[in-house]
């Protein structure tokens, strides 16, 4: 047996693991969501300026 502590102590590692997994997956989802909102905004800005530009020409 490799553990020096009694089995109950490893729950700390479990909590650490869950936290980090949540951060990685949650962080990625948040990143995707931010990217989506920013892109939507940029596209609407460009499309608006394009339609104005086209009206001028």
Partner 1 sequence: MRLQLMTVSSLILIILSVYMVLIYAPREIIMGDVQRIFYYHVSSGWIAALAFLVTLITSIMFLSTQNKSYDRVAMSSAEIGVIFTTMNIVSGSIWARPVWNTWWTWDPRLTTATIMWLLYIAYLFLHAGLEGHDRRRHITAVYGIVAFISVPLTFMAIRIWRTIHPVIIGSADPDAEGQFDMTARMTVTLLFTVSTFTVLYFTILWHRVRIQSLFEYMSKLQYQMHND
Contact with partner 1 (CB under 8 A) among 51, 52, 53, 55: 53
Give CA–CA dist 34/8, Å, rounded. Answer: 40
Q: Which of 2, 51, 52, 55 binds partner 1 (CB under 8 A)?
A: 2
Question: What CA–CA distance (Å, rounded) separates 51 from 47?
Answer: 6
Binding flag, residue 30, partner 1 (CB under 8 A): no
Asked if 35 interacts with partner 1 (CB under 8 A), we say yes
The residues near 3 (Cβ < 8 Å, ≥ 6 apart) are 10
**36 binds partner 1, rule: CB under 8 A:** yes
């Amino acid at each position: 047996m490799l553990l020096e502590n009694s089995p109950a102590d490893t729950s700390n590692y479990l909590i650490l693991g869950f936290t980090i997994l949540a951060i990685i997956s949650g962080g990625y989802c948040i990143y995707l969501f931010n990217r989506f909102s920013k892109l939507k905004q940029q596209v609407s800005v460009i499309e608006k300026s394009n339609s104005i530009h086209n009206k001028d020409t």
